Amino acid sequence: MTIDGTGSAGKSTGKSARTTAKKTARAVADQVSSSTTGATTKAATKATKRATKKASSTARKATTTATATTRATAKSAAKTVRKATAGTGTARKTASKSSGTTTRRRPDHDIVLYGATGFTGKLVAARLAKNAPTGTKIALAGRSRDRLGIVRDELSGRAGDWPLVIADSSDEKSLGAMAESTNTVITTVGPYAEYGLPVVEACAKAGINYCDLTGEVLFMRESIDRYDAIARANKARIVHSCGFDSIPSDLGVLALSLAARHDDPEARLLGTRFIVTGAKGGVSGGTIASGLNELERAKDDKRVAELLADPYSLSPDRAEEPRGEVPQPRGVTRDDVVGAWLAPFIMGPINSPVVRRSNALADYAYGRDFQYAEYVSCGDGVGGRLAAAGMALGMTVGEAALSIPQVRSLAGKVLPEPGEGPSDETRAKGYFSIALHTRTADGVPYRAKVAAQGDPGYAATSMMLATTGLTLAGDGVPRRYGVLTPSTAVGELLIHNLRLAGMTIQARKA
């Protein structure tokens, strides 16, 4: 609304005054004409001129007075509008605060990398410095300005100008300021069960994008329960498991589904297998710490133990999923498609709930009868069978051993700690290759391959996380909000961008 003292209200009043003045002049002239009967025409004319001049003066004064009055009225009205607007803004802020929603200003950064001084954080920072499109505004965040400065100095090129943001998971105000300053937060600060939820909360309330590389099912379940509704209300995207856990699984199945629905829009998947056919790399200290933390929580809490054993533990509505027990793979099996004996994949209990959540969030695009399991190929023949049996037994014994507090304590001392990782040479020589296969409800077989060069837990993971963050911060992201998975948040767009980053993700009819 615009109120202008020289606008239509002023013009209307001035015009009315001038009209009144003209009428007054004519009336005066008539009176002069009547009162000058017998006078000379010259005198009458002079009288008329004097009357007209006087009337004109009166008109000008009336116009000036009317305009001034209108301006005063406009000024008062504008002041009232400003007060009303300010009141509305205050009310809106109050309502937003109480409901968890917010109205955002234009952010200072496109991406903030939180945890940039950690081992994996440094790798992600290097990826961003190498692959971010020109003009992308990136900042590094953490607790120590000095350590952040050292990381920035070690990066090349344009990263030398990246701003530094001080934030701490124990400082809610600093996390809120960090979230308000950016479009997307990439976080590598774990274990996420200890440090992740405050960051999720800040991003959900700020209405921005968030991505991490967690493999912690309990953390993800708590994130969903506490912040999914807030994130949806504020149009925030909270995307978990954007590293080796669980992008190959989640996007591999999506690729199978897309290939099947390309041929038949009504196609639905049945039994689907994810099989690691080759991998080489070091062990992530952060992943070990996260796993030990979850085992510790499950030791004395039966509900937590049941949740970790449930492949539908991350589904938005457990009641909508199969009610019968669907156990994780335990024993040895043979797969005729890859021609090998299989053992359960150690990361299957993490990846499977993510894939099933994707199916549910996508309105069961894979189908209501979709089944999913993850394995490791151990080769064919007697040797392959023995190897698979040994691996399966080792997993069972290891899980049982780690349920003993003394063994967990020893494992924590001898295994890599968070912040530690393999050498540059080891990371460069690493790789992974995964085969997926399925059949549709009509019996049509489909195959997929997911592969990348580089240590799965570090080099490949940092590439996947950095690419996910860049994708979220870019254009064309689907308008879906809440606590999501990689496939439901950025899906096909992320597949495209990961291919550009050097990753293989392909699917076809067998």
386 lies in a domain? yes
Q: Region 442-453: what's the mean pLDDT?
A: 98
Does the CA dihedral 407-391-449-279 come out positive or negative? positive
Q: pLDDT tens for residues 317-370? A: 998 887 655 667 888 999 999 999 999 998 999 999 999 999 999 999 999 999
The answer to whether 180 touches 205, Cβ cutoff 8 Å, is: no
Which of 210, 239, 268 is the C-terminal boundary of a domain? 239
- How far is CA 413 from each of CA 285, 347, 409, 416, 497, rounded to the nearest angstrom? 11, 22, 7, 8, 39
Q: Do 414 and 504 belong to one domain? A: yes
pLDDT, tens digit, 9 for 90 and up, residues 286-319? 666 777 777 777 777 888 888 988 999 999 999 8
Give yes or no: residues 207 and 268 share one domain: no
* In a shared domain, residues 205 and 348: no
388 and 343 in a common domain: yes
Q: Which residue, of 222, 239, 256, is where some domain finishes? A: 239
- CA–CA distances in Å: residue 429 to residues 44, 129, 243, 396, 449: 114, 22, 18, 30, 20
Task: Tell me what the mean pLDDT of segment 201-208 comes to.
Answer: 98
Q: Quick one: which of 137, 177, 176, 141 has its CA closest to 159?
A: 137
pLDDT of res. 296: 74
Tell me which residue of 81, 16, 25 sits closest to 57, measured CA to CA: 25
Query: 340 — alpha (psi -120 to 50), left (phi > 0) or beta?
Result: beta
Q: Are residues 411 and 433 in the same domain?
A: yes
> Tens digit of pLDDT for each residue in 59-111?
444 444 444 444 444 444 444 434 433 333 333 333 344 445 555 568 999 99
Q: Could you tell me if residue 443 is inside a domain?
A: yes
From residue 396, alpha-carbon distances to 303, 331, 347 in Å are 21, 9, 14
pLDDT value at residue 314: 97
- Residue-level pLDDT at 123: 96
Residue 478 lies in a domain: no
In a domain, 36, yes or no: no
- Let me know if residue 45 belongs to a domain: no
135 plus 224 within the same structural domain: yes
Query: Is residue 55 a part of any domain in this protein?
Result: no
Sign of CA dihedral 391, 396, 402, 406: negative
In terms of residue numbers, what domain contains 391?
A: 247-456+491-509
**d(Cα 185, Cα 25) in Å, to the nearest integer?**
76
Per-residue confidence at 406, pLDDT binned at 50, 70, 90?
low
Same domain, 297 and 196: no
CATH number of the domain that residue 230 is part of: 3.40.50.720
270 and 224 within one domain: no
The answer to which of 129-133, 138-142, 320-324, 418-422 has the lowest mean pLDDT is 418-422
In the predicted model, what is the mean pLDDT of residues 430-454? 97
Confidence check: pLDDT of 402 > 90 = no
CA–chain centroid gap for 244, Å, is 18
Please confirm whether the linkage preceding 246 is cis (ω < 30° from 0). yes
Task: Pick the last residue of a domain from 239, 257, 273.
Answer: 239
Are residues 294 and 384 part of one domain? yes
CB–CB of 21/66 below 8 Å? no
Does residue 25 fall inside a structural domain?
Answer: no
Q: Is 83 inside a domain boundary?
A: no
Same domain (yes/no): 259, 228: no
- Residue 151 CB coordination number (10 Å): 22
Q: Are residues 379 and 270 both part of a single domain?
A: yes
**Structural domains in the chain (count):** 2
Residue range 22-64, pLDDT digits in tens: 444 344 334 333 333 333 334 434 444 454 444 444 444 444 4
Q: Residue 406: exposed, middle, or buried by beta-carbon count in 10 A (0-12, 13-18, 19+)?
A: exposed
Q: Does 331 share its domain with 216? A: no
pLDDT at position 45: 41
Nearest to 452 by CA among 278, 287, 211: 278
The mean predicted confidence, pLDDT, of the chain is 81
pLDDT in tens, 272-292: 999 999 999 866 666 667 777
